[in-house]
Amino acid sequence: MLQRVERGAPGHGIDPRELETVTAELLAPGCPPTGMIRLGAYALEYVAPRAFAHTLRLLFGSRVYDVAPLSPPYRIIDGGGWLGLSVLRFRELFPDARIVVFEPEPEIFRIMCRNLERNGIGNVEPVRAALAGTDGPQTFT
């Protein structure tokens, strides 16, 4: 079982006040459905601003992925990359880990790859596929 580790965010060190300002903008009634935001040193393309804001709060505010250090060989399998936020957080927490990230939806996959490239996130293998118990088309709910 993974243990939660209480520590500040290494790497970019996102200021909690900046996080709240950015998420408030994303949650505002007039926020465009797609766009770009700046958070700390990150430049991030988004879709679905409400979901994006909530994910930012979970990963960088509540720090739901902050777990005890990995053991070698430092590999992370991310089964739902969406826009790449989880990979950004994993890279901050585990700078030497090899990350394989799956995202099946073609346009979301492209945005995820752009977000990773734009922010200099390396040693990541993006895979445009879903993880499922059977082969073939799947319905995601």
Q: What residue segments make up the domains of the chain, in order of their start?
A: 16-127
Q: Rounded to the nearest 5°, which phi and psi values hold at 131?
A: -100, 125
How far apart (Å, rounded) are the C-alpha atoms in residues 141 and 138?
A: 10
Share of the chain above pLDDT 90, in %: 70
* Confidence at residue 59, expressed as pLDDT on a 0 to 100 scale: 94
pTM value is 0.85
Other CB atoms within 10 A of residue 65 CB = 19
User: What mean pLDDT comes out for the span 117-130?
Assistant: 95
- Are 106 and 131 in contact by the 8 Å Cβ rule? The answer is no
For 29-75, what is each residue's pLDDT tens digit? Answer: 999 999 999 999 999 999 999 999 999 999 999 998 888 877 877 89
pLDDT at 1: 35
**Can you identify the CATH homologous superfamily of domain 16-127?**
Vaccinia Virus protein VP39 (3.40.50.150)
Q: How many CB atoms lie within 10 A of CB 10?
A: 12
Secondary structure of residue 115 in the 3-state scheme: helix
Q: Enumerate long-range contacts of 72-78, CB under 8 Å, 24 or more apart.
A: 73/98, 74/98, 75/99, 75/100, 76/100, 77/102, 78/102
CA pair distance 108, 12, nearest whole angstrom: 24
